[in-house]
Amino acid sequence: MSDKTPYISLANKYRPQKFEDMVGQESISKTLKNALKLGRIAHAYLFYGPRGCGKTTTARILAKALNCTGHGQDKPTAEPCGECPQCREIAQSADMDVLELDAASNTQVEKVREAIIDTVALAASRDRYKVFILDEVHMLSASSFNALLKTIEEPPQHVVFILATTEKHKVPATIVSRCQTFRFRPITVEEITNHLMDLAEAEGLDLTEKAARIIAKNAGGALRDALTLMDRAIAYSDGKIDEKLVGEMLGLTPQDLLAQTLSALTHKDGAALHAAFETLRSEGFDANAFLKDLKNALGDLFYFALGQGAAPFEGAEALTEQASAGLLAALSRKVNKLAEEVKFSDNALISAEVGLFTVMDSCFDIEGFIRRLEALERGETANINEPPASGPAHTVTPRPASAAASKPGPAMKAQETPAHKPAAAVPPASASVPTRQPAAAAVKAQPAAAPQSAVVSDDRALWNLLLKAFQPSPFIYDVMTNCAVHFAGDNWSISFGPGKEFYKIPAQNKLADLEKKALQLGGRKIKFSIVVGKEAPTASPTATASAAAAAAKTPADAPVPLTDEEPLVQADFSADVAPAASSGPVPEELKGILDVIGGEVLA
């Protein structure tokens, strides 16, 4: 480029001049080209979408297509030549019959009337169509829209309106309904990256693909913004544009510092989080830019945890193995809210650090806890005590044995092992015996497991084998230790006493497992059924004698506990709830009332 050649920005130099040059708007280009070929030209179009995605450029290309004369035909064409006077003048915004108006600068109804309404009936001076391009049309006042309404609805045959806006919801519905609407979508990172690489090749620039991707991600879906950032990178570089140079130019947070912060958040490591902020202070990074980069990194990591896209930075695989997608999503939402708060802080770094400590303590890996519970239900106890990604695990410490521990206690918790429970004698086999007993007692009383080929004819022995087999599965074992089993040949029924009816649903889901395990251990096809609310049968004479002997050892005046655990209240309140005796005969005037509503007179 010589010194006399004026500088032209990349956004203007490589502005598309025909529909084929448009990036990321193929559906709109195809629709407009087909409409031009078929002669189905609307009198008003509305282009809406984010900034820098091609709305005004498409409007100019459409104006060229309507007025191009380079093909020697007196009708619109789908492929403007770009060489005729109409195409060249429209490209330079110098055509007298193509009026581009900035609605943000002409909001008053007087200017709209002067520029459009009073001139719309006049014939085109040279071109085939008179085209009005209104950019940022949502900025017009309500009076201007009302004045423009009738003109847009029924314009002359030689007039075409093209409205462009970034905020369609601000355009009155009466205007929108009179236009053909086209939505311009944000351009994807891949499309911008490929376009930048092609542009760099055309310009002879040394641009790496990672640097192009960083520029594309920071463009926010706007190709014009990406080209503007590319201009900055060319001026900032010494000939080669790589990811390090682009990061320094944009003031982006280094990837290793982002990885350190994310690891501290997912592991709840306060020291590592504070060390990351010390680095931010020493290097002079902006807190708002850091939170923005952290939010974007969390979003990329969330998609990567779902199996979408490549790893956003080194170490992302290890983080996604330790933190679930749900935790990453929760962190991203809270960091986004924190970024809005820090904008108005007088000390952004301190506010950001305190806020991230709050975010770290308030987010929990619920999915990780659920996975551990599911593994516990399946009997996979190898890794259930490993801490989840959101914090350390809480272990359960068994209570020490006491003199009263020989009594049957509540069901063993999922985290406790059978060895922590005290021993107790197993009642002898009978036709129906409740199986509510301490775990260790069941372990000691169980005989050795029979081989698969042997048939266990003793019902009680087979039930004890089932108890031992399902000890690694706390949910099934809890059901078995809270039910009463009734033996009737190969038809066994399970019942639950009052207050334990809720065990019916989990028990129903596990009957097939019980039948399969009974066939495997005892060689018998046992048919299990469930009876809710069935009373347990009378205990055998041996069991009754054992209970009587235990009662004989207890002092007569010893209080009876209300539960198997230590009771909070042991007093007898039966006298407090007994009805008081009637104080005398019932008055005559009350007898009629009592005959209707019932009851008695207490005082």
Taking only the tens place, the pLDDT of each residue in 74-92 is: 889 999 998 999 999 999 8
Answer yes or no: do 346 and 435 share one domain. Answer: no
Phi-psi region of 584 (alpha: psi -120 to 50; beta: other; left: phi over 0): left
**Is residue 549 domain-resident?**
no
For residue 548, the model assigns a pLDDT of 38
CA distance 6 to 8: 6
Q: Is residue 476 part of a domain?
A: yes
Range of the structural domain that residue 454 is part of: 410-539
Q: Domain with 238 in it: what CATH number?
A: 1.10.8.60
The more confidently predicted of residues 531 and 99 is: 99
Which tops the pLDDT comparison, 410 or 74?
74
Instruction: Verify that 164 and 150 share a domain, yes or no.
Output: yes
300 and 292 in contact (C-beta within 8 Å)?
no
The pLDDT, as a whole number, for residue 422 is: 40
Give a three-class secondary structure readout of 23-71: CCCHHHHHHHHHHHHHCCCCCEEEEECCCCCCHHHHHHHHHHHHHCCCC
Q: Calculate mean pLDDT across residues 411-434.
A: 40
Assess whether 205 and 163 both reside in one domain.
Answer: no
Taking residue 229's Cβ as centre, other Cβ atoms within 10 Å add up to: 21
What's the confidence (pLDDT) of residue 266?
85
pLDDT of residue 528: 87
Q: Sorting pLDDT into bands at 50, 70 and 90, what band is 316?
A: confident
pLDDT at 46: 96
Average pLDDT over residues 553-567: 44
- Lowest-confidence segment of 127-136, 181-190, 464-473 by average pLDDT: 464-473
Q: Are residues 166 and 208 in the same domain?
A: no
| Average pLDDT of span 137-152 | 89
| Residue 412, pLDDT score | 39
Once rounded to an integer, what is the mean pLDDT over residues 312-327?
A: 81
CATH number, domain of 457, equals 3.30.300.180
Task: Indicate whether 230 and 275 sit together in one domain.
Answer: no
CATH number at residue 104: 3.40.50.300
CB atoms under 10 Å from CB of 3, counted, come to 4
Q: pLDDT category, 594, cuts 50, 70, 90?
A: low
Categorize the per-residue pLDDT at 190 as very low, low, confident or very high, splitting at 50, 70 and 90.
very high
Q: Place 175 in a pLDDT band, splitting at 50, 70 and 90.
A: very high
- Sign of the C-alpha dihedral computed for residues 336, 341, 343 and 348 taken in this order: negative
Is it the case that residue 563 has pLDDT exceeding 70? Answer: no
Does residue 44 register a pLDDT over 70? Answer: yes
Q: What is the dihedral of CA 239, 240, 246, 248, to 10 degrees?
A: -70
- Which of 142, 161, 183 terminates a domain? The answer is 183
pLDDT at 560 over 80: no
Mean pLDDT value across residues 169-185: 94
Q: Domain check: are 27 and 176 in the same one? A: yes
Domain end point (choices 494, 517, 539): 539
In a domain, 272, yes or no: yes
Cβ 474 vs Cβ 376: under 8 Å: yes
Instruction: Over range 310-332, report the average pLDDT.
Output: 82
Per the structure block, which two tokens stand in for 559?
Answer: 């209080």
Q: Give the tens place of pLDDT for each residue, 338-378.
A: 988 888 888 888 999 998 988 888 777 676 677 777 777 77
Confidence bin at 123 (pLDDT 50/70/90): confident
Residues 200 and 316 occupy one common structural domain: no
Is residue 397 in a domain? no
Burial class, 470, CB count within 10 angstroms (exposed 0-12 / middle 13-18 / buried 19+): buried
Please indicate, yes or no, if residue 551 is contained in any of the structural domains. no
How many folded domains does the chain comprise? 4
Please give the pLDDT value at position 251.
84
Judge if 57 and 119 occupy the same domain.
Answer: yes
Q: What average pLDDT score do residues 551-558 get?
A: 43
What pLDDT was estimated at residue 395?
Answer: 38
Helix, strand, coil shares, percent, the chain, to 5: 50, 10, 40
| Least confident segment among 449-458, 569-578, 593-602 | 569-578
399 vs 136, higher pLDDT: 136
Residue 119 located in a structural domain: yes
Among 45-54, 211-220, 313-322, the minimum mean pLDDT is found in: 313-322
Select from 519, 539, 559 the last residue of a domain.
539
414, pLDDT greater than 60: no
Checking if the pLDDT of 238 tops 70, the result is yes
Q: Is the dihedral of CA 138, 140, 145, 146 positive or negative?
A: positive
> What is the chain's mean pLDDT, rounded?
77
Phi and psi dihedrals of 387, rounded to 5? -65, 140
The verdict on 27 and 170 lying in the same domain is yes
Q: Are residues 234 and 262 in the same domain?
A: no
pLDDT attached to residue 363: 76
**Same-domain pairing of 209 and 228:** yes
- Residue 52 included in any domain: yes
Structure confidence at residue 387 (pLDDT): 43
Q: Report the CATH number that the domain containing residue 309 is assigned in CATH.
A: 1.20.272.10
Q: What is residue 113's predicted lDDT score, i.e. its pLDDT?
A: 84
Same domain for 440 and 519? yes
Biggest CA-to-CA distance, the chain: 124
Highest mean pLDDT among 141-145, 386-390, 543-547: 141-145
pLDDT greater than 70 at residue 384:
no
* Residue 311 domain flag: yes
pLDDT above 70 (res 453): no
Residue 144's H or E segment, with its range, is helix 142-153
